[in-house]
Structure 1
Amino acid sequence: MPRPTELTVPTETGPGRLLVSPAGNPTALLWLGHGAGGGAGAPDLTALADELPRHGITVVRHEQPWVLAGRKIAPRPAALDAGWLAAAPAVTGLAAGVPVVVGGRSAGARVACRTAAAVGASAVVCLAFPLHPPGRPERSRAEELLRPPVPVLVLQGTRDAFGTADEVVAAAGGAPAVGVVPVEDADHALKVRRSGPVGQEDTLALLPAAVRRFLQRELPAR
């Protein structure tokens, strides 16, 4: 795939960066945030950026200012939300009138859920939503998952220490707007064991396929 276009976004805490993988004739734009442990090069985010533009979906991966500054620890949620919202005008300009779908992995998924209404998102895609800290199911973040006023897709590993796919289904409580796709044998990084039923390459290929089906179902035809 061609290298993504890089755009710098000014924020109050320093510059952020957008990595734009454009579709030739886009029908939607998917804006993705990264987790608290790394940047936009995470394998699952890269898999979406590599594959979805072939199917008419522009992918924009957002690197937060703290990553560009070389810090190892993510700031508090309010600062993450502020860094994300500062990029909204630039992302809207890139969308050029097509629906904007927000999402991300782990902490990035939380940001997307918290801000979906503020940025006018048409849908939300969560990769490895951190439903609770490991071993602390009583500290649930289900309220954030249920906050978006638009359809939500969650791609969740069946071995995720931050909340398995079954736990996310239970937390959603049957909410019709939240769909959960279990990623078999995957942990929080959506990595699978070598001895598991599905290999890593095939697991990563499942992600863009699931996102495509979700967007085809939830977004208006153009």
Structure 2
Amino acid sequence: MPLPAGGSVSALLDGHAGARAGFVLAHGAGAGMDHPFLAAIAEGLAQRGIAVLRFQFPYVEQGSRRPDPPAVAQAAVRAAVAHAAALWPGLPLFAGGKSFGGRMTSQAQAVQALPGVRGLAFLGFPLHLAGKPSITRAAHLADVDLPMLFLQGTRDALAELPLVRDAIARLGGRATLHVVDGADHAFHVLVRSGRTDAHVRAELLHTLAAWIADRA
């Protein structure tokens, strides 16, 4: 996948034929596009008629563990959306991602609208650093003039639920919150919860696919 400043990054496609929408899915800060959680989400969406484009941020492509500066990451998001639009002409487009990837997508949209994108979905929006509760990272969301879906776990150390509710309430009808009971930032659940990670992924996929379908 080409980048606007030159060079390229790797990308993966899941599904296409007969898809009713396309989703550009960005990875989190600690793992690339082939992380098992991201792969399961992409494959599950493809099975539900939503084509998915996953891509690497430049720092992962270069073998670094240090996330790209926001401007570099946002440019990669923008390039991925343009790539998806070229691959799937006519398909309604959505974008978002896991943690860092979701936040870089929303920042890109806040700076300049992502062409053709109808909505943003976040799998664990990283509202603050662990142990440092704040909603300052949500300030740019006021400039996102699109429907937004927040999928958040009740045990997420990077997004205390009362603060998430406060930040989302400020966005009005543009934002939808789906709370995943017992899930942490990686959407893992405790054994004593009586649920498994597979149950959580099924809940995430059902909610995300339905939200996209309603807006496609």
Q: Same fold (TM over 0.5)?
A: yes
Alignment of 1:121-160 (within 5 A): 121-138=117-134, 140-160=136-156
Are residues 134 and 183 of structure 1, via their aligned partners in 2, closer, same or farther at CA, if it must alter by over 3 Å? same
Are residues 127 and 143 of structure 1, via their aligned partners in 2, closer, same or farther at CA, if it must alter by over 3 Å? same
- 1:47–1:205 Cα contact (<8 Å) kept: no
Superposed CA offset, 1:161-203 (max 9, x none): 1113442122112511111111111111111112224211111
Aligned: 1:104 with 2:97:
yes
- 2:85–2:93 Cα contact (<8 Å) kept: yes
Aligned: 1:34 with 2:27:
yes
Question: How much has 1:22 moved relative to structure 2?
Answer: 1.8
Q: Which residue of 2 is the match for residue 58 of structure 1?
A: 51
**Residue 86 (structure 1) aligned to one of 79, 90, 115:** 79
SS in 2 for 1:15: coil
TM-score by length of 1: 0.88
Distance 2:189 2:140 in 1: 27
SS in 1 for 2:86: helix
**Residue 199 (structure 1) aligned to one of 193, 196, 199:** 196
TM-score by length of 2: 0.90
Identity %: 31
- 1:22–1:57 Cα contact (<8 Å) kept: yes
- 1:124–1:153 Cα contact (<8 Å) kept: yes
Distance 1:194 1:73 in 2: 32
Distance 1:112 1:24 in 2: 26
Q: Which residue of 2 is the match for residue 172 of structure 1?
A: 168
Amino acid at match of 1:78: A
Q: Which residue of 1 is the match for residue 187 of structure 2?
A: 190
Q: Please, which runs of 5 or more residues in structure 2 have no aligned partner?
A: none
Q: Which residue of 2 is the match for residue 5 of structure 1?
A: none
Distance 1:160 1:143 in 2: 19
CA RMSD of aligned residues (A): 1.8
Question: How much has 1:127 moved relative to structure 2?
Answer: 0.5
Q: Choose between structure 1 and 2: higher helix proportion.
A: 2
Superposed CA offset, 1:82-119 (max 9, x none): 22223333221112111110010111101111223233
Q: Which residue of 2 is the match for residue 163 of structure 1?
A: 159
Q: Please, which runs of 5 or more residues in structure 1 have no aligned partner?
A: 1-7
Q: Which moved more, 1:126-135 or 1:79-88?
A: 79-88
Q: Which residue of 2 is the match for residue 212 of structure 1?
A: 209
